[in-house]
C-alpha cells in the first residue's frame, strides 16, 4: 500500500515488514500547534533524516514471537507485579491489595500481571492478539527493537510521524476533534467510561482507521509509547526518565483529568516502569540507497 501527502510533498510507503517509510520534507517544530504557536518567542526547528516506523504499536502477537525466539523475560515478570487500572482488576484480587499510588489510586499493583496476563491471574491474550503489548518497560522495548535491527524513535521522529506531514495541527488528522478516531476516556474519571468510541480499556491497534496521511494507526490514544528521548530525572530515585508520547485510553479530549490526547501529549517515566496502558513501536534508520530502492519499488 502507498500513502502520499500531496500538500507537503512527503511520501510514505508501507513495506513488507509492516513499517512505513517517512521522508521528512520540512523541519519539525516540536510541540507547536495552532493553540500555542504564540506562547514562545522562538520555537526550535529540527531536521530529520528518512526513517522507517512501525505502522502500529507492537502487538501481543508480535511480542509473543520475540519472547519465544529470545526466551525473553520482561521486567514485570522479574518484579512479579505491574500496575493495572482498577476497573479491570477482579474484586477478589482487589481485596488482597493493600497499597496504591497517592493521588492516582486507580492504579493498583497486581501480582503476576505482565504482557501475557495483562490483568493478572485469570486474564490472558488469547482474544487480544491484535492488541498492543502492554506492561512493557523502556528496557523491554529497547531489547525488542534491537532484536529486529531497529530502535525506539526519538521524540522528534515520533511527533513528525504522528503529524503525518502536516504542520502545527492538534490531532494526527488535523485540528478538529473527530469521534471514533482514537481510543480515549469518555465519561467521569475514574469510575465511568461511557465507551462511546467502542472501547472501555485497551483496543486492537487497528480498531480505527489510520489516523494520518502516512497511514499510521494508533499514534494518539489507546496506549502510551516509549521513545528514546530522556524526559528528565525522577525526583525520588534520581534515575533518568524517558519520554512517552501519544496518551492512552485513560486520557481525554479536554485534558481536565490525566492528559489531553493530541500530537503534543507527553510525559516521563523511569526505564523499568510498566502498566496496562504503556506500549511502544520501533523505527529503523535507512540509507540513501535504501530510500531509493523503496521509492523505486513504490513507483512500480
Residues 247-264 pLDDT 10s: 999 999 999 889 999 999
pLDDT higher than threshold 60 for residue 300: no
> Cell 516540536 maps to which residue?
30
Sign for the pseudo-dihedral over CA of 167, 168, 171, 175: negative
pTM: 0.94
As a whole number of angstroms, the longest Cα–Cα distance in the chain is 61
Report angle CA 280, 148, 210 to the nearest 5 degrees: 45
Residues 214-234 pLDDT 10s: 999 999 999 999 999 999 999
Band (pLDDT 50/70/90 cuts) for residue 5 is very low
Nearest Cα residue to 105 out of 125, 87, 81: 87
Q: Note the Cα 286 to chain centre separation in Å.
A: 22
- Residues 294, 1: Cα–Cα separation, whole Å: 12
Q: What is the DSSP letter of 57?
A: P
Does residue 218 contact residue 211 with C-beta atoms inside 8 Å?
yes
Residues 181-192 pLDDT 10s: 999 999 999 999
CA distances to 24, 31, 155, 232 from 44, in Å = 16, 10, 14, 19
Cell of 184: 480515549
pLDDT higher than threshold 90 for residue 13: no
pLDDT higher than threshold 90 for residue 118: yes
Mean pLDDT, residues 86-112 taken together = 93
Tell how strand 224-233 and strand 278-279 pair up. parallel
- Residues 127, 236: Cα–Cα separation, whole Å: 38
pLDDT higher than threshold 80 for residue 6: no
Mean pLDDT, residues 34-59 taken together = 94
**What pLDDT is recorded for position 296?**
80
pLDDT higher than threshold 60 for residue 9: no
pLDDT higher than threshold 60 for residue 278: yes
What SS3 class is residue 193? coil
Amino acid at each position: 500500500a502507498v500513502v502520499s501527502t500531496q500538500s507537503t510533498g512527503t511520501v510514505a510507503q508501507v513495506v513488507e515488514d509492516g513499517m512505513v517509510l517517512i521522508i521528512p520534507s520540512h523541519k519539525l517544530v516540536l510541540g507547536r500547534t495552532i493553540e500555542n504557536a504564540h506562547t514562545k518567542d522562538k520555537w526550535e526547528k529540527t531536521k530529520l533524516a528518512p526513517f522507517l516506523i512501525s505502522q502500529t504499536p507492537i502487538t501481543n502477537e508480535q511480542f509473543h514471537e520475540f519472547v519465544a525466539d529470545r526466551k525473553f523475560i520482561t521486567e514485570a515478570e522479574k518484579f512479579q507485579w505491574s500496575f493495572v487500572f482498577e476497573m479491570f482488576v477482579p474484586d477478589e484480587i482487589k481485596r488482597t491489595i493493600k497499597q496504591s499510588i497517592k493521588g492516582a489510586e486507580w492504579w493498583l499493583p497486581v501480582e503476576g500481571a505482565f504482557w501475557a496476563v495483562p490483568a493478572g491471574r485469570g486474564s490472558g491474550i488469547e482474544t487480544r492478539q491484535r492488541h498492543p503489548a502492554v506492561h512493557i518497560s523502556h528496557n523491554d522495548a529497547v531489547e525488542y527493537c534491537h532484536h529486529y535491527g531497529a530502535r525506539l524513535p526519538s521524540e522528534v521522529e515520533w511527533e513528525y510521524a504522528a503529524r503525518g506531514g502536516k504542520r502545527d495541527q492538534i490531532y494526527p488528522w488535523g485540528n478538529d476533534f473527530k469521534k471514533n478516531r482514537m481510543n480515549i476516556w469518555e465519561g467521569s474519571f475514574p469510575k465511568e467510561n461511557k465507551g462511546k468510541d467502542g472501547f472501555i480499556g485497551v483496543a486492537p491497534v487497528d480498531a480505527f482507521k489510520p489516523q494520518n496521511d502516512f497511514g499510521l494507526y494508533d499514534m494518539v490514544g489507546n496506549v502510551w509509547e516509549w521513545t528514546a528521548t530522556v524526559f528528565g530525572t525522577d525526583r525520588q530515585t534520581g534515575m533518568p526518565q524517558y519520554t512517552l508520547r501519544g496518551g492512552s485510553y485513560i486520557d481525554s479530549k479536554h485534558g481536565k483529568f490525566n492528559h489531553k490526547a493530541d500530537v503534543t501529549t507527553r510525559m516521563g517515566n523511569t526505564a523499568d516502569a510498566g502498566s496496562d496502558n504503556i506500549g511502544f513501536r520501533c523505527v529503523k534508520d535507512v540509507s540513501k540507497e535504501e530510500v531509493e530502492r523503496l521509492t523505486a519499488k513504490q513507483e512500480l
